[in-house]
Amino acid sequence: MYQTFELENGLKVVVAPMEGISSATVLVLVGAGSRYEEKEKAGLSHFLEHMIFKGTKKRPSAFEISSLVDSVGAENNAFTGKDHTGFYIKVNSEHLPLAFDILSDTLSDSLFLEEEIERERGTIIEEINLYEDTPIYKIDDVFYELLYDGNPLGYPTAGEKQTVKKIARQDFVDYAKRFYQASDMVLVAAGKVEEEEIRRLAEKFFLVFPKGEREKFVEFDNGQTKPRVKIYFKRTDQAHLYFGYPTFSFFDPDKEALEVLSAILGGGMSSRLFVQVRERRGLAYYVRTNVDLYHETGFLAASAGLNLEKIKEAIGVIKEEFEKIRQGEVEEKELQKAKEFIKGRTVLRLEDSRLVANWYGERLLLEGKIEPPEEFLAKIEKVSLEDVLRVAQRVFVPNKANLAVIGPFEDAEEFYKIISG
């Protein structure tokens, strides 16, 4: 059973013990991501994430930090999302003090040395080049730009090359001072951990952060009134697409039914889209569904890598499957299979202390409360056919369809006719 407490500076701490393992993950989540950025500084959150392990006053070089981590066989990494950033170290539990020390030191006292910034700038530009050259990655950005046009949610998390080139040292200093505040951070320790030790370590290392205030973001107001298509022209041997609809936020009581709906459509190799698009027609190498939810909005979309000559057929098949569910064509056995799929995948993920830490930390940071896995699974089990139908009718609204495509195409109108017909 997990425990929570709050430090004097307002930083929230979660302790999630796990039986039968010797390792532990210490994770710090910060309520800052690309949706908090100004357009001319797009990519700053991600760039700063790259800079955190590059040197502090106490440990002036990236080599010194990485050597410490390697000396105990630990694993450290970081990630940047639209609405939060995470930093973690996974260690043998006897080295928990070192993990706390390094995370606190790097997050509160990074040097942001000019020479390191310039080196990492080149690395990030090459990362962006990788995304640009890899359609299976790039299609995510194209769809976000289409769905959230004009809102920071639509900015690429890594930024654009021209914005990354303009980011200066003072931008990092100002950003860290503005966002890396205790009131907008969550610290999680999961694995072989005990509350008493975690409380002691948290108080020793994490009271250095000022309380501060939680930042606000520009809310997205979806005024879509007709289907939309966005083509990213690229000479490829395979077309990549996202075809989906805006949904609701992670506060909505229908979010579990949405997960079940997504699993029915594209959750695994026996899902509707996999069978209809790949197995029966051979139109795609991969096809799946994605659900992404935020504070005030979200989406459900199918993504696929398709035969160039048969992309129109594939879009029609995907659209047909959306419509079938909207019309209530779901059987009880299909519902039960989708629920078991979600439950099984959830249980498998929660055997890893890093993913357990993510589970508790993200919910507390973003939603303001923790939903234990067993409560989530109980809600999944309660989803009925009526719930799936209701959510399908809420989401699959014809005039809110969105299609993003990467490939050697120029005429958006031909695609528009398919999704709006």
Q: What is the pLDDT of residue 98?
A: 98
CB 160 within 8 A of CB 128: yes
Q: Cα angle vertex 151, ends 148, 154, to 5°?
A: 50
Phi, psi (degrees; rounded to nearest 5) at 238: -145, 135
The pTM (predicted TM-score) of the whole model is 0.96
Bridge partners (DSSP) of residue 315 are: none
Sign, Cα dihedral of 65, 71, 73, 74: negative
- What SS3 class is residue 28? strand
Q: What is the pLDDT of residue 117?
A: 98
What distance in Å separates the CA atoms of residue 111 and residue 59, rounded to the nearest whole number?
A: 10
The amino acid that residue 403 corresponds to is L
Active site residue 381: no
Tokens of 101: 């020390």
Distance separating the N- and C-terminal Cα atoms of the chain: 51
What distance in Å separates the CA atoms of residue 263 and residue 346, rounded to the nearest whole number?
A: 13
CB 390 within 8 A of CB 325: no
The amino acid that residue 110 corresponds to is S
Query: Which is it for strands 298-307 and 238-246: parallel, antiparallel or unpaired?
Result: antiparallel
Q: Which residues contact 336 (CB under 8 A, 6 or more apart)?
A: none
Strand residues in 275-398 grouped as ranges (E): 284-293, 298-307
**HSE-CB of 21 using CA atoms within 13 angstroms:** 20
CB 292 within 8 A of CB 259: no
- What SS3 class is residue 285? strand
Collect the ranges in the chain with pLDDT lower than 70.
none
Q: What is the pLDDT of residue 56?
A: 98
What distance in Å separates the CA atoms of residue 69 and residue 234, rounded to the nearest whole number?
A: 41
Phi, psi (degrees; rounded to nearest 5) at 341: -60, -50
Bridge partners (DSSP) of residue 293 are: 298
Place of tokens 């999302």: 81
Sign, Cα dihedral of 256, 262, 268, 270: positive
Q: Which residues contact 198 (CB under 8 A, 6 or more apart)?
A: 13, 15, 96, 189
Cα–Cα distances (Å) from 236 to 130, 240, 283, 390, in that order, read: 15, 9, 16, 39
Catalytic residue among 37, 38, 40, 49: 49
In the chain the domains, ranked by start, together with CATH numbers, are 3-205 (3.30.830.10), 228-420 (3.30.830.10)
Q: Which residues contact 415 (CB under 8 A, 6 or more apart)?
A: 229, 231, 312, 315, 403, 405, 409
Q: What is the pLDDT of residue 1?
A: 87
Place of tokens 């890899």: 134
The amino acid that residue 204 corresponds to is K
Q: What is the pLDDT of residue 421?
A: 76
Nearest to 314 by CA among 204, 407, 181: 407
